[in-house]
Structure 1
């Protein structure tokens, strides 16, 4: 048996707005002492393996260590995002990036090699372990020791991005408010308020534009060097290997963008034309995209996060009681940080805590329908984590984003018929559903723009900041609707990418949203035809983790891993039909 020197489990709490939240993660290893963690790795590395059975047991022990490490790392990340202005939270997170993560990467590569070189590897059941073999071989081909130091610098620059953007506030009605609390005003029925809100956001982001340009320039050079170290021409090719994109190619992404331009952009232009008519404005401006007519009010589904939680729990109670129970348990354990506040990072996410068997949801709620969709979306990730939490080895709990986002985006759509929990007024319910479906059409062009922008960034790593923003503007003009008049705001149109944190923190993580959104529309179509079967297929697919290929996971869900032009044309016709039925 392999001994271990785990410290006794320590539970950690997080202080929010002066209130101490309940314990939300467990630190079973002493992250302050890298030597203790290294000892755990060496035990695995030195272990004697004399049979296939012992190799399988070794994988189980490795999974326990990986889960303990990931729990602590994710816990520290959560704390930093919740308190991006906290020096203690920042110090713990940076210690992980500079000391623990490099150690993890170093020994993971050594353990991968130990597994791959084992004479007993091929005696394992290849119908189950075959994909693991492929993934470990891919990781071994990509790993370079010298890239670890580069990744420390890369992580530090990503942290700088959050420091710049997480602290941004604007003065609004005599109070300093974070940007996340200004976005709801973009839905106001008063056009002057919408313009004021958008201008305030634009101008505040503009104060950080030069710094964000510099950060990305430095990131691109570091990332290009990583690719060259691995023997690849550019960072795009590096990330396709790192993300294990075995099911599609960069050329497929370019063809997808062209299909979106052909089949989605005309629908978006029609949506914008109708919005212009509803608002009765002469010129359609950026602040008109989300506005409501003067005789109506923006949707206000809840007054506080407690109501948001109870409402979503009620929706889940009708869809699948286990989902409602999971949300309730997360709330009881302090796994939800939903309010917007100063000093909190922007955005929203779900982070897995694999040792505890739970997940944590982070978001910045402001009382909008977008927040309802966001909590449902993030709960889709949590349900995914829950359904795959017992999979061994732990590598199979690491899922490709095309699968992860299928879980979250499908949850938004499959719950729409139960949104009357938030809207007793039938007209408001119809509007919420229309907004959701229209957002699919609005998003897909944006998604391929961000993806193609990143392809260009790393295919041309020597470009200047000016060329970068000009290229983004060109891509926007090519792949998005031309209906909006950006006069006077051309600089923001060219620099809008700076608000997309993925470009800085998780490069090339964006096309997955597009692919998964197309999968989610298929799930919704299936749900409309047979709700119970769709939910069962959904759970079946999620419970696979990454033990199967993306194509097989989508098949288990009862849908196709297919984003060809014909499929996009078919799915957009379905969405258009759904919108017509809501309008008539």
Structure 2
């Protein structure tokens, strides 16, 4: 069955409420553990159904944001999900108070109960209205960004589509494209700032209702930071400043010299080579064919997985008007199907979608039979290990996408992973400041971003783009609006992925086997234990970042730049 044939069922609120009430009644009235466990299995089946329809609706909405039916369904789920959360929270308390609770713990992974504990602390029926408003604001932000229609050189572009011009070989073209891109954000600054201000105040209000001083501890609970805290993250940010920023400054200086510019401007940052960045040499259809060949050759399990994705049309990769921005992978439990959503734009990003998002998809495909379904997906920072590591494990096949540009790809991609770390930490630090001081005005938030940006990204030069000099870059970062505190995850995972890359350099035959092992585990363990199971170092450990940077530095020292 193809994705377009997946049947969608509108879930009536009364029906959903009744189903959850029936499950809770069965759990309460169970006269034996077998009866209790049967009710628990029924709960899992119901959760899978709700998750499947919610995700199917969301995918079809983001594929075409102007589709009236799925826009309506998306809005409906924004209202319904907080109620579902309430039903689930009530059932969790029933399970906790059951005489069969201890027996259940013998048959369900411990992390399931840890997640539920976090969930109970992060929810109360008194915040349902705020959760509904938060969902509406997230959809409002997404719709506003998706509506961007920028005229450039006589053609119309979405924000995603314009980025190919922002990486044009011609410096003047990318300068004009960069200015046009940020002009859209400046023209919508007040709207975007107002949406974010409402979000910050709403989230702070939720936190205070739940007994927290501000949103930060609630944000950590909602992100399921199961085995690390704010102190670990603060120490990690410090290590990034000490060990990564100086190395990145060296990379940016080498880039400036290679390009032959007096200064590296905002429109030059993404350009590594004067004759242009490496780009895939094929269209989307051919790239998918080559990706299929790549995954078949990488491993029998990845081959079987990608065949499933292609056969069921579970990749929507083209960029077109009305399609939401960004890229993601989601999972529909009842169809045991991952789904990859992206916006191809003719840059190296296109190849990375077929590795990064495919890493997420492979993980959920590998762990799709985990029970209960909450243990299919890992927590966010662990999930990014699978995606970012797949980018490295597929290195040997990148020539089939980039051809003669493959060495340029290796050079820029590896450097890009290190350049990303300070930016990812900046996004996290900015949110920490915002939610610690929710009373900030829009102007103060802009100034806070720019102040932190100068620490983590001191190379930034915003001549001729005053909007960025005032601190406007953060407005393009979807996660800041829609998924607060979901960004440090990428950097933690990147450090883990770089450790897999190091093992590949040393031709460690167990590296990919360890990778497959944690993909199958899915969400059965918290972050630190997953990292240790993969035989990697936890990024918070003193010296981990220093050692990681040292390995990358060694690669650059030995790289023959005449091959670029």
Name the TM-score, length of structure 1 as normaliser: 0.92
For 2:276 and 2:221, the matched residues in 1 are separated by 48
Quick one: structure 1 residues 105 and 341, their matched pair in 2 at CA, closer, same or farther if it must change by over 3 Å? same
In structure 1, list runs of 5 or more residues that go unmatched: 1-10, 12-20
SS at match of 1:365: coil
Quick one: structure 1 residues 101 and 174, their matched pair in 2 at CA, closer, same or farther if it must change by over 3 Å? same
1:499 aligns to what?
476
1:92 and 2:73 correspond: yes
Question: Which region of structure 1 is more displaced relative to structure 2, 165-174 or 459-468?
Answer: 165-174
For 1:301 and 1:323, the matched residues in 2 are separated by 22
Quote the offset at 1:22 in angstroms. 4.6
Return the match for 1:272 from 227, 248, 252: 252
Query: Is the contact made by 1:187 and 1:292 (CA closer than 8 Å) also made in structure 2?
Result: no
Write the deviation string for residues 291-314 of structure 1: whole angstroms up to 9, x where unpaired. 2544x2432313321112112222
Quote the offset at 1:541 in angstroms. 1.0
Quick one: structure 1 residues 127 and 259, their matched pair in 2 at CA, closer, same or farther if it must change by over 3 Å? farther
2:462 aligns to what?
486
Question: Which region of structure 1 is more displaced relative to structure 2, 574-583 or 129-138?
Answer: 129-138
Query: Is the contact made by 2:259 and 2:272 (CA closer than 8 Å) also made in structure 1?
Result: yes
Write the deviation string for residues 550-578 of structure 1: whole angstroms up to 9, x where unpaired. 22211221212232341101001111222
Quote the offset at 1:24 in angstroms. 5.6
Quote the offset at 1:367 in angstroms. 1.9
For 1:131 and 1:299, the matched residues in 2 are separated by 42
Quote the offset at 1:127 in angstroms. 8.0
1:461 aligns to what?
438
Return the match for 1:569 from 531, 536, 546: 546
1:251 aligns to what?
231
Structure 1 vs Structure 2 CA RMSD: 1.8
1:187 and 2:167 correspond: yes
2:144 aligns to what?
164
Query: Is the contact made by 1:150 and 1:222 (CA closer than 8 Å) also made in structure 2?
Result: yes
2:62 aligns to what?
81
Write the deviation string for residues 247-304 of structure 1: whole angstroms up to 9, x where unpaired. 211122122112111111111111111111111111211111122544x243231332
For 1:527 and 1:490, the matched residues in 2 are separated by 44
Query: Is the contact made by 2:280 and 2:350 (CA closer than 8 Å) also made in structure 1?
Result: no
Matches within 5 A, 1:139-538: 139-294=119-274, 296-425=275-404, 428-480=405-457, 482-493=458-469, 494-530=471-507, 532-538=509-515
Write the deviation string for residues 384-412 of structure 1: whole angstroms up to 9, x where unpaired. 11111111112222421111001100000
1:133 and 2:109 correspond: no
2:30 aligns to what?
49
1:3 aligns to what?
none
For 1:291 and 1:393, the matched residues in 2 are separated by 46
Query: Is the contact made by 1:116 and 1:136 (CA closer than 8 Å) also made in structure 2?
Result: no
Quote the offset at 1:531 in angstroms. 5.0
Query: Is the contact made by 2:235 and 2:540 (CA closer than 8 Å) also made in structure 1?
Result: no
1:545 aligns to what?
522
In structure 2, list runs of 5 or more residues that go unmatched: none
Write the deviation string for residues 55-95 of structure 1: whole angstroms up to 9, x where unpaired. 33322221111111101000111111111223322111001
